[in-house]
Amino acid sequence: MTADDQVDMARSQVFGEVAEAYDAARPGYADQLVTDVLAYAAPGGRPVVEVGAGTGKATLAFAARGVRMVCLEPDERMAAVLRRNTAGHPGVAVRTGGFEDWRPGGRRFGLLLAATSWHWVDPARRWDLAHAALAPGGALALVWNPQGVRDPQVHAALAESDRRLGITGAPHARRAWEFADVPGDWPGWPEAECRRDGRFTDLRPVRYRQEVHYDTDRYLTYLSTLSGYRVLPPALRSEVLAATARTLRRYGDALTMTLCTDVLLARAR
């Protein structure tokens, strides 16, 4: 594992500091996505394994369809919220720990789901682990939520505020009209890596769009749950959030974004 990979793994553990805020502010997933993923995977009687389930933003949408799930979450604080949220779904089993350390005990799964979490899995091992967890013909669904600001003036003002403070990679750094119809127009899209692996077939990239409205307080809460903000020194993080708030309050005290939920579907050979 490289030094960069170790840094990424350390950053993956910061969400538990703000587990309740994460649960309240992070966007969820559309019903149509769940319908399409289950239609593609057709897991039948086989359970679903979810990698990096967090507080259950995707879990609940799938559990509501009656699928049995094993949910892996490395942070105990996040897992505690996940257990609370899924208490009404007896088919959901929560396991505290990372995908890299999990032992499926000989079980093979019909679907492996990773919703905004695949990039945290050790890149040297993730495809091996995924293939080993899936039954032959089992499906992989890797999901992300890139966003873009709809108003050019608001985008420009937020970009200038971030530039002054040295902030990069914020959700509002993208403009809504930059996103095309086909997913993968952002760093880290795993389609090429999956193709190179060679053990998966029938790759299908899918993009869903919806408009999301944040008031200033909710957007600041959302930003405070992102790893890039969590690892900032506390004084700088407070300054950045305050500057973002001042900008938004000049433009109606709210922010409208286009949320592009991108999914890579693939099937184990």
Query: Residue 70: what pLDDT?
Result: 98
Question: Which residue matches tokens 């890139």?
Answer: 146
DSSP H helical segments within 201-233, as ranges? 216-224, 227-230
Backbone CA torsion sign across 230, 232, 233, 237: negative
Query: Residue 13: what pLDDT?
Result: 63
Tokens of 260: 């592009």
Tokens of 3: 């030094």
Query: Residue 4: what pLDDT?
Result: 39
Environment class of residue 76 by beta-carbon count within 10 Å: exposed (0-12), middle (13-18) or buried (19+)? exposed
Query: Residue 184: what pLDDT?
Result: 87
Query: Residue 7: what pLDDT?
Result: 37
Query: Residue 12: what pLDDT?
Result: 52
Compute and round to an integer the Cα radius of gyration of the chain: 19
Show the low-confidence residues of the chain (pLDDT under 70). Answer: 1-13
Query: Residue 11: what pLDDT?
Result: 53
- Domain boundaries along the sequence of the chain: 3-268
Query: Residue 166: what pLDDT?
Result: 96
Query: Residue 30: what pLDDT?
Result: 87
CA dist., res. 216 & res. 67, Å (int): 36
185-214 pLDDT, tens per residue?
898 999 999 999 999 999 999 999 999 999
Query: Residue 254: what pLDDT?
Result: 97
- Residue 127's nearest CA partner among 110, 142, 146, 144 is 142
What is the CATH topology of the domain spanning 3-268? Answer: Rossmann fold (3.40.50)
Cβ(58)–Cβ(143) under 8 Å?
yes
Query: Residue 1: what pLDDT?
Result: 38
